[in-house]
Structure 1
Amino acid sequence: MTASWKNINKPSSPTTAVTAAQVANGPVIPPQQRLLTYSPDEWEGFVEEWAYYCLPAKYKYVQRFSGAGDMGIDIAGFADDKRLKGVWDNYQCKHYDHALRPGDVWVEFGKVIWYSYSGEYAAPRHYYFVAPRGAGTSLSRLLANAAKLREELIANWDKHVKDEITGTQAVPLDATLRAYVDAFDFSIFDAKTALQLVDDHRATPVHTARFGGGLPARPASEKPPQEVAATESRYVTQLLGAYGEHTGSIVTHPSALSVPKLKDHFRRQREAFYEAESLRVFARDSVPPGTFESLLDDIHGGVIDTHDANHADGYEKVCAVTKAARDMQITANALITCTNPKDRDGICHQLANEDRLRWTRS
């Protein structure tokens, strides 16, 4: 007897419709879960990115050390030009399949002790262990008790530290080094969690590029001031010239616009320009550098043929070019999900402000 597949229990179907993004990319993986899949090198790259974008007020420079001879430094944040000889913080990156244990990092304590004792660098102001699964209970307790941490490091020195600091020599805890350990400030040691890093990183312009999940909500744009600002003078001058071509009269100031249709058009164009300016600011804070400039280039490339065609006058040219911008199909740029028709009109005027487009025939 042939079995019928229809009699086999089917898995339950999704309760909501599948989106195009889900079909293309699969389910969204939370950032903390995604970090667990990173290689150690990718993890260091993420921590470097976090320090660079999230701590700009804290550091003058952020530098990644990698390879042999890094002296126990992974990511360093320098507060002044003296770098390793000045005020700096170390972010020691660990990517294991478990929360960090004391046995995982005894040698790291030893390295910062030895290399600062040897004069290779000044002792860091802060020293953070950074691991996607964080510090385990035993290590967290030691990090919270500087005296106990010193005591345990000394007890573990011969077994876990002495022969692991360098590949060329053993580092016994002799009397002078022991005196340095006794005086060393063990309160500099702490740990950062992946949750802390992700929460900070969420506010950076590179977060969505790394983790996906869509752009944040875009705030409302500013309304144009009553008087034309210096930042918009170039495209406004061109617009007034275009209106002059249309009416056959010289228009040197918006107050000289007597035709209601043109007055309303001018108001809409200024609103569109400020809308596009708000998109520029939003892009600066929400997407990687160059994304907004790429959108300008896309729109410029899409309207330039219309721009260069013959038009009865400058006003007709403006109308034709902005319509071409609104009608364009743009699918690749990350900002396209949060743009509107006004943005496209405004971008045309941003291009005119840069003299990449001209509204008058001459």
Structure 2
Amino acid sequence: MLDDGDAAANRDKAAKLRLSGAGLHFPSLPSPKKQVFAYDPNEFEEFVEEWVPALNTRYARVERHGGTGDHGVDVAAYLTPQAMEGEWHNYQCKHYGDALTWSKAAPEIRKLFASVVQKRYTLPSRYIFAAPIIGRSLVKQFARPSDTRARFLEELTSTKDTAITSLSSAERESVASLAQSTDFSMFEPVAMDEMLELHKTTRHWADRFAQPLPPRPQIMNPPAEHTPLEARYIQKLLDAYREEWGEGTNTLERVAENEDAQDHLNRQREAFYSAESLRVFARDATPEGHFEAVLDDIHAIVVEVARGRHPSALERLQAVLVTAGQVVLTETILAKQVRPLDRKGVCHHLANDDRLTWRQGGKA
């Protein structure tokens, strides 16, 4: 009889077993940067909306305003519950086929000041231009806030931009006055590499930029000695063996004396550790929950078999193992890595968690 032990506490200990074998390889996908370059303006705004909360700034709320009639606000980040009536930052998303330059940024700045004068919102404390490519000349321009303000004011007197020409004379004077009193260091560009690095820390990264998984080791060899991690599922196997072969197989020591039982046990342990290697791989290479999704997919189907009528516990187990090999898994980045032996092992992981059992009348 095995002592159950604390399986959860021993998972990581068991996971340190030697991994070996060839990995599986899949064709590479375009890099995240290339994928962003291929976005349409709407997709790029969604990407920025996902990225903004990852910044160090503690925002009370982040909202996307992009679209017709946004008055120059694509993604607004509020530092207080008062939203645009309190301090806030504006993230302006500009997705072009080429670099963002001053000629494309200046109209957005004019739209900003015009909207503030028209009391559509208050002046943000920061205005960040987000674009796949930021022109070097624009970076240099924003690095000189005083010169940028002077250039803006000079162009303001002759612009034909309808954001300004549609204003009354008094409003145009207010725009010039507001710009004159504004510290233009509030305007800044953000590099795409910086955005991607921070986006990696969000829960959206794996869904948006699904990349091929690293090679997965083929097998995790069962240790010679049974570990506490195995206690529950092996005890359930012993219960099935005792029903099949009698009391002479009610302990591991006595199973070793029965060739059929020992051979069966060895195969189940190989399957269990194959699935355990999948769990460790998923833990290290995929977002949280992918291995659990495999468990849930297989359980949803095999539990019906487990709860059906069978001549013996061992035949119930065999029927479940066969069915597990036929389950269609939900398509995830991990699903392609699941092998037939993993599926058998998953059934024993489910038994470990008391979601499956083999003896008649036991909890399935």
TM-score, scaled to structure 2:
0.66
Q: Separation in 2 of the partners of 1:38 and 1:123?
A: 29
Instruction: Name the counterpart of 1:298.
Output: 297
Equivalent residues of 2:113, 2:179 under 8 A apart = yes
Equivalent residues of 1:107, 1:165 under 8 A apart = no
Instruction: Output the aligned Cα RMSD.
Output: 4.6
Return the offset for 1:65. 0.8
Residue 101 (str. 1) matches residue 97 (str. 2): no
Instruction: Name the counterpart of 1:3.
Output: none
Instruction: Name the counterpart of 2:136.
Output: 137
> Which secondary structure does the structure 2 equivalent of 1:159 belong to?
coil
Q: Structure 2 stretches of 5 or more lacking a match? A: 1-23, 244-250, 257-261
Among candidates 233, 247, 254, match of residue 242 of structure 2 = 247
Q: Count residues in correspondence.
A: 321
Residue 188 (str. 1) matches residue 186 (str. 2): yes
State the AA in 2 paired with 1:243: L
Equivalent residues of 2:63, 2:77 under 8 A apart = yes
Instruction: Name the counterpart of 2:34.
Output: 33
Instruction: Name the counterpart of 1:9.
Output: none
Q: Deviations over 1:94-117 (max 9, x none)?
A: 122321121212122233334456
Query: Percent of aligned positions with the same letter in both sequences?
Result: 29
> Which secondary structure does the structure 1 equivalent of 2:152 belong to?
helix
Select between 306-315 and 67-76 the one with higher mean Cα deviation: 306-315
Residue 82 (str. 1) matches residue 82 (str. 2): yes
Instruction: Name the counterpart of 1:164.
Output: 163
CA 1:226/1:213 → structure 2, altered by over 3 Å: closer, same or farther? closer
CA 1:299/1:267 → structure 2, altered by over 3 Å: closer, same or farther? closer
Q: Separation in 2 of the partners of 1:354 and 1:85?
A: 52
Equivalent residues of 1:71, 1:111 under 8 A apart = yes
TM alignment of 1:316-327, pairs within 5 A: 317-318=316-317, 320-322=319-321, 324-325=323-324
Q: Separation in 1 of the partners of 2:299 and 2:164?
A: 58
Q: Separation in 2 of the partners of 1:315 and 1:38?
A: 55
Return the offset for 1:44. 1.7
Q: Separation in 2 of the partners of 1:188 and 1:42?
A: 26
CA 1:215/1:181 → structure 2, altered by over 3 Å: closer, same or farther? same
Equivalent residues of 2:72, 2:92 under 8 A apart = yes
Select between 93-102 and 161-170 the one with higher mean Cα deviation: 161-170
Equivalent residues of 2:76, 2:89 under 8 A apart = yes
Return the offset for 1:208. 5.6
Return the offset for 1:144. 0.7
TM-score, scaled to structure 1:
0.66
> Which secondary structure does the structure 2 equivalent of 1:334 belong to?
coil
Bigger relative contact order, structure 1 or 2, given CA contacts below 8 A and separation 6+? 2
Q: Separation in 1 of the partners of 2:55 and 2:352?
A: 34
Q: Separation in 1 of the partners of 2:123 and 2:216?
A: 44
Q: Separation in 1 of the partners of 2:165 and 2:315?
A: 74
Equivalent residues of 1:291, 1:335 under 8 A apart = yes
State the AA in 2 paired with 1:41: N
Instruction: Name the counterpart of 2:17.
Output: none
Q: Separation in 2 of the partners of 1:79 and 1:312?
A: 66
Instruction: Name the counterpart of 1:70.
Output: 70
Equivalent residues of 1:208, 1:215 under 8 A apart = no
Q: Deviations over 1:318-350 (max 9, x none)?
A: 465346435656584321233456753554356
Q: Separation in 1 of the partners of 2:349 and 2:85?
A: 47
Return the offset for 1:92. 0.8
Q: Separation in 2 of the partners of 1:51 and 1:353?
A: 42
Q: Deviations over 1:26-75 (max 9, x none)?
A: x84444334333322222223223335x4487445332112333231112
CA 1:272/1:313 → structure 2, altered by over 3 Å: closer, same or farther? farther
Instruction: Name the counterpart of 1:338.
Output: 337
Q: Separation in 1 of the partners of 2:299 and 2:270?
A: 20
Equivalent residues of 1:313, 1:360 under 8 A apart = yes
State the AA in 2 paired with 1:147: S
Instruction: Name the counterpart of 1:251.
Output: none
TM alignment of 1:147-296, pairs within 5 A: 147-160=146-159, 163-164=162-163, 172-174=171-173, 177-202=175-200, 206-207=204-205, 209-216=207-214, 240=235, 243-244=238-239, 246-247=241-242, 259=255, 275=277, 277-278=279-280, 281-282=283-284, 285=287, 294-296=293-295
CA 1:323/1:105 → structure 2, altered by over 3 Å: closer, same or farther? same
Q: Structure 1 stretches of 5 or more lacking a match? A: 1-18, 249-255
Instruction: Name the counterpart of 1:16.
Output: none
Return the offset for 1:189. 1.6
State the AA in 1 paired with 2:50: E
Equivalent residues of 2:51, 2:198 under 8 A apart = yes
